[in-house]
Amino acid sequence: MKCDPNLYRAAPPSLAVKPRLVRQLFLPPLIIALMIGLGYIGFWVSERYGIRSLSENGQRQLELHARAVESEISKYTYLPSLLELETSVSQLLADPTPEHRQTVNDYLEGLNRRSRSRAIYVMDTTGRVMATSNWRDFDSYLGEDLSFRAYFQSAIRGQPGRFYGIGSTNGEPGYYLAHGLEEHGKIIGVAVVKVRLEAMEERWQRARLEAFVSDENGIIILSSDPARRLKSVVPLSDETKEKLARSLQYYWFPLNELQPLARETLSEGVEKLTFPANSELVSDDENISYLSQTRPLSDTPWNFTLLTPLQDLRREAINQGILVAVAFALLAFLLIAWNERRKVIATRLAAREALQEANNQLERRITERTVDLRASNERLKGQIRERRHAEETLRHAQDELVQAGKLAAIGQMSTSIAHELNQPLAALRTLSGNTVRFLERGQLDVASTNLKTINELIDRMGRITASLRSFARRGDDKGQACLGKGVDAALQLLDGRMKHTHLHRHFEAVQVRIDQTRLEQILVNLIGNALDAMLAQPQPELWLEGEEFDGKYRLRVRDNGHGIDAETRKHLFEPFFTTKPGEQGLGLGLTLSASLAAATGGHLGVEHPASGGTAFVLSLPLVSPTPAKPI
């Protein structure tokens, strides 16, 4: 089957290989880059979205807890002003006797217990503590001069004193609310309530809330995380630090700044703060980010800040980023696989189409060829018929030729046959005449002996004529012959000419595939020729040598005659070629013998031995390759 080469012609290497190579080289890095890019976008979007939803939720939390702080603080706002109504207080301020002091001390102690504040005390206009709820304690404020306190200075001026500070007596932090006590429009003293707000911190801790309250100086006064307490959320100048140190508001605490690693303002009051790892605020090994939401607390200059850790959100965003990257990788993989499959299908379809086209072409050609073949088949049939006819004619002609050859051979031999027959005939004539005479004389013994001799002579003559008859008879290409018998028959036929010839027999009595008569014909020809060639030889010798070779039996008929000259060798097997003078040779013997041998699948060849003479080699197919017993 021949295919159209155009259908399967590959693209030129420069076109086919390059884009594939480029794709193989650049596609993996491109996919990885896109994975990273999309993963980052996924992370970023997820983080932003998460921050937004966290900040909405945080806003509610912020509001809730800020209100709680406000209500906690405002709960005590009225308390210092309440002392204005208490006559014992005004009496003490007007007349500070020990009795009055004790009365007020007891009153303040009771009030403090009921209001669950930390301490309540009353100061005169100079800032000295006149009476206090903790008068029993060893670190009582009684008699202390607290005029340096900012809340006192505000209250003495008639303004509400609000102050968060650390007590100078016992170093305890607290929220101080001061009120100037008026009598007849004149400030006669200051009432102060100290409140502890740590309960709120505990509440935050219990609620696992990260929050802090920073005061007007930006110092964290309340924090769910004790480590953040008394840290500054804004940068403090040296001057401010010194001023604050002097006021002893924060006792002797160093007031370090709460320094975030990164600060990103997301909206009004909303920031993203990142604190470095290993800072005193972060126990983790990695940086930690918070969403910081701040709101001012009403009635105070303070701010409430809610911190929402972003670790979970970040982890979630990283997961989302990875998910996006993996989803993209999967999609890319699916796309590549789909594309490859599409290409394979396209190639298959193209190949199928090409195959179909090739098939169609093939079928067209087959149809054309079939027509041609049919025509040539018809022609061939005609030729075969003609050949058969020619073969028939040839065979017929060959048979005729063989027959003619035989007849010719008989003609040639007629002289010697006549001679052969004449001798016994003459002997018969003499013997029969003699016998008659012996019978007349009554010599029966001699007559009987003569008759026996006559019989023998007749037998011999019969044998000669029988050989001639069988030689002249038509044979066929099939049949079997015994080589020994064939040789004997031929020798018998040529017996008259063999008298002086020394015969060497070295062959086996094998069965060969040839008609017996034809074998004899061939042998008569070959031996006859040999005898002719040895006519001038004083010691003629004839060798008949046989051997099995390749399923055939070769019989070499060799003589020590005159041999064959170079010119004669060229025409040896040509019909009617003869070197024999006059009527002696017809030139048909070798031609016929060769054609008879060939007709059975055998062969007749000639050799020219260096020692002289000629050897004809007759090769005939064996009936059974196993040789018979030697003769």
| Residues at the contact surface with ligand ADP, assessed by CB under 6 A | 525, 529-530, 533, 559, 561-562, 564, 568, 572, 577-580, 585-591, 614
d(Cα 285, Cα 268) in Å, to the nearest integer?
31
Q: Which residue has the tokens 């340096």?
A: 148
- Give the amino acid at 425: L
Nearer to ligand ADP by Cβ, of 365 and 580: the residue is 580
d(Cα 210, Cα 309) in Å, to the nearest integer?
8
Q: State in angstroms the smallest separation of the CB of 616 from ligand ADP.
A: 7
DSSP letter, residue 606: E
Q: State in angstroms the smallest separation of the CB of 568 from ligand ADP.
A: 5
d(Cα 561, Cα 535) in Å, to the nearest integer?
8
Q: State in angstroms the smallest separation of the CB of 428 from ligand ADP.
A: 32
**Both tokens assigned to 629:** 């017993």
- φ, ψ at 520 (rounded to 5°): -65, -45
Q: State in angstroms the smallest separation of the CB of 368 from ligand ADP.
A: 53
**Both tokens assigned to 556:** 């070499």
**Both tokens assigned to 263:** 């600060």
DSSP character string of 425-480: HHHHHHHHHHHHHHHHHT-HHHHHHHHHHHHHHHHHHHHHHHHHHHHHS---S---
Name residue 175's beta-bridge partners: 164, 195
Q: State in angstroms the smallest separation of the CB of 577 from ligand ADP.
A: 6
Nearer to ligand ADP by Cβ, of 191 and 490: the residue is 490
Name residue 179's beta-bridge partners: 191
Structural contact between residues 91 and 189, judged by C-beta atoms closer than 8 angstroms: no
Nearer to ligand ADP by Cβ, of 460 and 608: the residue is 608
Structural contact between residues 540 and 561, judged by C-beta atoms closer than 8 angstroms: yes
Nearer to ligand ADP by Cβ, of 266 and 468: the residue is 468
Q: State in angstroms the smallest separation of the CB of 483 from ligand ADP.
A: 19
Nearer to ligand ADP by Cβ, of 253 and 577: the residue is 577
- φ, ψ at 284 (rounded to 5°): -75, 170
Q: Which residue is nearest to ligand ADP (CB)?
A: 589
Nearer to ligand ADP by Cβ, of 233 and 533: the residue is 533
CA 411 to chain centre: 89
Nearer to ligand ADP by Cβ, of 299 and 607: the residue is 607
CA 218 to chain centre: 69
* C-alpha triplet 459, 464, 465: angle, nearest 5°: 100
Q: State in angstroms the smallest separation of the CB of 567 from ligand ADP.
A: 10
Nearer to ligand ADP by Cβ, of 51 and 596: the residue is 596
Nearer to ligand ADP by Cβ, of 1 and 536: the residue is 536
Q: State in angstroms the smallest separation of the CB of 441 from ligand ADP.
A: 51
Is residue 119 exposed (0-12), middle (13-18) or buried (19+ Cβ within 10 Å)?
buried
Q: State in angstroms the smallest separation of the CB of 560 from ligand ADP.
A: 10
